[in-house]
Amino acid sequence: MFKSNMDKKAKKFGDKFTDLISWFLGSWLGVIFHTTWFVTWLLLDFDISILTFSVSLEAIFIGIFLLMSGNKAEVRRDAREASQRANDRKRLEQDIKLDEKADRQLTEIKRLHKDLHHQIKVLKKDIAKIKNTL
C-alpha cells in the first residue's frame, strides 16, 4: 500500500512536471527563453558543437514531454467520452422507460375509450327500449 501511494505521488508529480514543461514550451516565454539562449550563445562565441549537442538532447526531451502531454490529454478525452457515453446510455434508458410508460398510458386510454364507446352503445339501446315502452 505504501508503494502504491508513492507511485501515485510520483505519477502526480510527473504529470504536473510534464504539464509545466509543455505549457512553457508552448508559450511566448519559451520562445523568448530559447531565442535569448541561442543569441547569447552565439554572441559569446561559445563552441557551436556543444550548442548543437545540447539542442539535440533538448529536442529529444521536448519530444518525449510533448508525447507524454498528448497521451495524458488523450486519456482525459477518452474518460470524458466514456462518461458522455454513460450519460447518453442513462438518458436513452430513461427515454425508453418514458416511452414504455406513455405506451402503457395510451393503451389504457384506448381501452377506456373502447369501454366508454361500448357503454354509450348500451345506454343508447336502453334509451331506445325506454322510448318504445312509453
Model-level pTM? Answer: 0.57
Would you say residue 103 lies in a domain? no
8, three cell numbers: 501515485
Q: Report the domain count for the chain.
A: 1
17, three cell numbers: 512536471
Would you say residue 49 lies in a domain? yes
Give pLDDT tens digits for 27-82. 999 999 999 999 999 999 989 999 999 999 999 999 999 899 899 889 999 999 99
Would you say residue 115 lies in a domain? no
The more confidently predicted of residues 118 and 132 is: 118
Would you say residue 52 lies in a domain? yes
Cβ pair 22, 65 in contact under 8 A: yes
Would you say residue 127 lies in a domain? no
Would you say residue 34 lies in a domain? yes
Helix (H, G, I), strand (E, B) or coil at 47: coil
By C-alpha distance, which of 81, 68, 77, 56 is closest to 23?
Answer: 68
Would you say residue 67 lies in a domain? yes
Cβ pair 21, 68 in contact under 8 A: no
pLDDT above 70 covers a percentage of the chain that reads 94
Would you say residue 133 lies in a domain? no
d(CA 132, CA 134): 5
Domain boundaries, position 36: 2-94
Cβ pair 18, 68 in contact under 8 A: yes
